[in-house]
Structure 1
């Protein structure tokens, strides 16, 4: 995917990074061993074959002069912290970090290396799978997601802190930041921004039902799941994790909007018993948050077409209808 946040580097710089991480004797002699992975939306990622044949992946954070959305600031630091947490406290498979560099000596942003995962991307191959196989993987994803949510935090908010003592305070700040991001870049979301703020204010009491901060992956879509031989072998891309309400996870989104797929297999795997009235109200707020981001980020990413923008605008109409609101 194309985005102005992708911080591409010259082959000479990439070789210097490989040297620092693995040593000069592992720097490949030719550029044919370096290939950009194209399906990411935010960071640039390169697949690299070292001189001894080992496959690795290099991820580089966006350049500092590119404005990102508020919640995306410091995203690579969050990913590195999340990878450590998941590896230490769960059995969910995640890539090992071979080397991380935040010095900005070789390039203008954070970067890290991890092993290349020799597996299929579930999001890319799912349409070629049988319905039974898709369900099996989605059930496994639900179970893995529940295990991730078992990690407890000291406060609500970013993995790296600072935290908030209440989920209401944390989430209203999060969605408020998204709205401020949209207004700062004059993004037309199809509704008056103050109407959205009034809607949130009138529906936030349900947030007080959440009293324990849990690890929330949030960006755990099927395109961040690597599969092989009937099993999930790795979960990738953890830069949007935070401590909050597990009901905010991506797998629950289709409970609100059918356009996000059928959640049945995920819910079975997760073992969710069913949503209360308060759960459903919170879930609508979380879908509102997601769809607002999907609209507003198209401007921050510099999209050259309106495919995602148009699709997300339609989803916002559907979310607003759940709240009993009409478009302007």
Structure 2
């Protein structure tokens, strides 16, 4: 996916990064030691073969002069913090970090190296799998997501703190930031921003039953799941994590909008009982939050086609009536 947030670097800069991370003895030779992994939407990622044949991935944050959405600021630091938490407190497989550099000495943004995962991306290969196999992976993903949500925080919001004392205050700020981002760029979301804000305000009371901050991965789509031999071998891309309500996780989104896929296997693997009426209201708010981001981010990413924008606009036209909004 093309995006102006992808911070591509010259071969000389990439070699300098490799030398700092792995030492001069591992500087690659030849002409075919690097290729870009193109399915990401935000950071640029390179697959690199070191001199001894070891394959690694280099992930580079967006350049500082590119404006990102409010919730995306400092995303790489969030990912590094998430990887530490997940490795220390859960059994969910994630890549280790070989080297991280936030000095801005070799390039203008944060970056880190991790081992290359020799596995298939579920989001890419699932069309070639049987329905039973896809369901099995989604059930395993639900169980893994529940494990991630077992991590407890001390406040709601960013992993780096200080956070909010209540989930209502935190989510109000989060979704308010998204709307402000849209207004700043005059993004046409298909509804008056005032109407969307009114819908949110009218439903904030349903957030009050969430009292314990839990680690939320939030971006756990099929495209971030690496599989091999019938098992999930790694979860990647953790830069959108925060402490919040586990019900906001991506795997539950299909409960509200079928266009996001059948959530049955995920929910079964997670072990979540049938949602209460209050939980359904919370879920609708979370789907509204997601769809607003999907519309507005197309402007910030500089998308050259309208495919995602058009698709997300259609989803907003489905979710707003769930609140009784015409």
Normalising by structure 2, we get a TM-score of 1.00
Partner of 1:247: 247
Partner of 1:212: 212
Task: Give the secondary structure class of the aligned counterpart of 2:32.
Answer: helix
Q: How far 1:95 moved relative to its partner? A: 0.2
Partner of 1:222: 222
Task: Give the secondary structure class of the aligned counterpart of 1:174.
Answer: helix
Q: Which runs of 5+ in 2 are unaligned?
A: none
After TM superposition, the structure 1 = structure 2 runs for residues 288-299 of structure 1, keeping only pairs within 5 Å, are: 288-299=288-299
Q: Which runs of 5+ in 1 are unaligned?
A: none
Aligned residues: 326
Partner of 1:37: 37
Q: How far 1:274 moved relative to its partner? A: 1.1
Task: Give the secondary structure class of the aligned counterpart of 1:158.
Answer: coil
After TM superposition, the structure 1 = structure 2 runs for residues 210-289 of structure 1, keeping only pairs within 5 Å, are: 210-289=210-289
Measured in 2, the distance between the counterparts of 1:87 and 1:37 equals 24
Partner of 1:165: 165
Task: Give the secondary structure class of the aligned counterpart of 2:47.
Answer: strand
Q: How far 1:31 moved relative to its partner? A: 3.4
Q: How far 1:98 moved relative to its partner? A: 0.2
**Deviation readout 1:47-84 (Å, 9 max, x if unpaired):** 00100000100000000000000000000000000000
Partner of 1:60: 60
Measured in 1, the distance between the counterparts of 2:310 and 2:74 equals 28
Q: How far 1:239 moved relative to its partner? A: 0.1
Q: Is the 8 A contact 1:26 1:50 kept in 2?
A: yes
Partner of 2:112: 112
**Deviation readout 1:189-236 (Å, 9 max, x if unpaired):** 000001111110000000001000000000000000000000000000
Partner of 2:139: 139
Measured in 1, the distance between the counterparts of 2:97 and 2:162 equals 24
Normalising by structure 1, we get a TM-score of 0.99
Partner of 2:14: 14
Q: How far 1:29 moved relative to its partner? A: 1.2
**Deviation readout 1:69-107 (Å, 9 max, x if unpaired):** 000000000000000000000000000000000000000
Measured in 2, the distance between the counterparts of 1:148 and 1:62 equals 26
Measured in 1, the distance between the counterparts of 2:30 and 2:323 equals 57
Partner of 1:85: 85
Task: Give the secondary structure class of the aligned counterpart of 2:146.
Answer: helix
Q: Which runs of 4+ in 1 moved over 6 A?
A: none
**Deviation readout 1:252-311 (Å, 9 max, x if unpaired):** 000000000100000110001110011000000000000000000000000011000000
- Give the CA RMSD over aligned residues: 0.4
Measured in 2, the distance between the counterparts of 1:162 and 1:225 equals 30
Task: Give the secondary structure class of the aligned counterpart of 2:9.
Answer: coil
Measured in 1, the distance between the counterparts of 2:118 and 2:67 equals 33
Measured in 2, the distance between the counterparts of 1:129 and 1:299 equals 34
Q: Is the 8 A contact 1:11 1:31 kept in 2?
A: no
Q: How far 1:161 moved relative to its partner? A: 1.2
After TM superposition, the structure 1 = structure 2 runs for residues 40-51 of structure 1, keeping only pairs within 5 Å, are: 40-51=40-51
Q: Is the 8 A contact 1:256 1:283 kept in 2?
A: yes
